[in-house]
């Protein structure tokens, strides 16, 4: 069984991002469920809150950190080493990109994500 690692990421705004080896984590959009107690076991349930998709990347510092400053409506296509693909439409960069030790750290969020293959 092959581990599902991020192999490449393509941005509709910036093109293919220079991903460092092992430099990415992806969390699909989902729900946070909080258990709600009750006096009778049959009435125990949960409340559900949507959570954003998140893509955290470590990139080679071949890009200018300011390239990410105004990104607020990007479409990201995420390719996994095992062959799957996910998409994050209308993604935004969550905070200023950090440059250090020859690498950039960037985090994207999106209200939703889609599994393509």
pLDDT tens digits, 3-45? 579 999 999 999 999 999 888 999 999 999 999 988 888 889 9
| DSSP structure string for 34-61 | EEE--SSGGG-EEEEEEE-EEEEEEEET
Contact 55, 78 (CB under 8 A): yes
Decide: helix, strand or coil at residue 82. Answer: coil
Domains in the chain: boundaries? 6-115
pLDDT tens digits, 87-99? 999 999 999 998 8
Indicate the fold that domain 6-115 takes in CATH: Elongation Factor Tu (Ef-tu); domain 3 (2.40.30)
Residue 112: exposure state from Cβ atoms within 10 A (0-12, 13-18, ≥19): middle
pLDDT tens digits, 52-73? 999 999 999 999 999 999 999 9
What's the pTM value of the predicted model, to 2 decimals? Answer: 0.87
């Amino acid at each position: 069984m092959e581990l599902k690692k991020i192999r490449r990421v393509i941005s509709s705004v910036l093109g293919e991002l220079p991903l460092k080896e092992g430099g990415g984590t992806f969390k699909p959009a989902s729900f946070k469920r909080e258990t709600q107690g009750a006096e009778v076991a049959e009435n125990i349930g949960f409340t559900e809150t949507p959570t954003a998709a998140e893509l955290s990347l470590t990139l080679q510092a071949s890009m200018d950190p300011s390239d990410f400053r105004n990104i607020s409506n990007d479409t990201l296509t995420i390719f996994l080493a095992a062959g799957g693909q996910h998409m994050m439409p209308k993604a935004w960069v969550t905070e200023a990109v950090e440059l250090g030790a020859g690498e950039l750290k960037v985090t994207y969020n999106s209200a939703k994500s889609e599994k393509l293959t």
